[in-house]
Amino acid sequence: MDDNTKNILEVAFQGIQATVLIASAFWAYFRFRQETPLHPRIEFDVKCVLYGPHLNNYLATFTITANNKGNVEHRFSEIRLKVLGIKNNEPLTEHIEFTPLINFPDKIIRGVNIVPSSFGYFFVRPSVNQTFNYAIKIPEHYRFILVRATFKYQQNGDLHTAERVFEVKAETNQHIQL
């Protein structure tokens, strides 16, 4: 093989190496973007237990869980809790804008931040399932409540929501341990 042929083969081999290197870099970049291992992955839920009635009210305790399934710590400077209600004597009606969704006409609490301002933030480390509790009173003349908990991701401002409906009545399966 002459030197000219060797040079052509060497240049071709270097071109193939460069192409493979660039293609691998693009593959790794897009794979990393798709899996986003450094972005928070939060499983978020809200639950409610009602106690009472006591002096015409129920004690409603809300448990908000944030299960961090990602690889980075997540900080919550705000976790908003909103409670809407339907009174005992009101019919179930559909929401005007979002039919057939049921309308909850009464605002019992309007987006209160459960993170105390003196704390600044709550945090959840990777692989940790953290619970946050909040208690309010619900007048006994309500039959159903809709509870919505929300937070925004710090990185991009996306809103994450958990929502559930509860019947306003005392829990019958509570056990007291002494």
Closest by CA to 40, choosing from 64, 76, 65, 79, is: 76
List of residues 6+ apart from 42 with CB closer than 8 A: 66, 67, 68, 69, 70, 74, 124, 151, 153, 160
146 and 95 Cβ atoms separated by less than 8 Å: no
Report residue 172 CA to chain centroid gap.
29
**Residue where the block lists tokens 């009606």:** 93
Rounded Cα gap, residues 64 and 150, in angstroms: 10
* pLDDT tens sequence across 67-110: 998 888 888 889 999 999 999 999 999 988 888 989 999 999 99
pLDDT in tens, the chain (178 residues): 677 777 777 877 788 888 888 888 877 777 666 656 566 578 999 999 999 999 999 999 999 999 998 888 888 889 999 999 999 999 999 988 888 989 999 999 998 999 999 998 898 998 899 999 999 999 999 999 999 999 987 777 778 899 999 999 876 544 444 4
Q: What is the pLDDT at residue 178?
A: 42
Q: What is the pLDDT at residue 37?
A: 59
Q: What is the pLDDT at residue 53?
A: 92
pTM reported for the whole predicted model = 0.73
CB atoms within 10 A of CB 174: 8
Tokens of 110: 């309007």
Q: What is the pLDDT at residue 177?
A: 47
Note if the bond before 91 is cis, omega within 30 degrees.
no
3-state secondary structure of 65: strand
Q: What is the pLDDT at residue 82?
A: 97
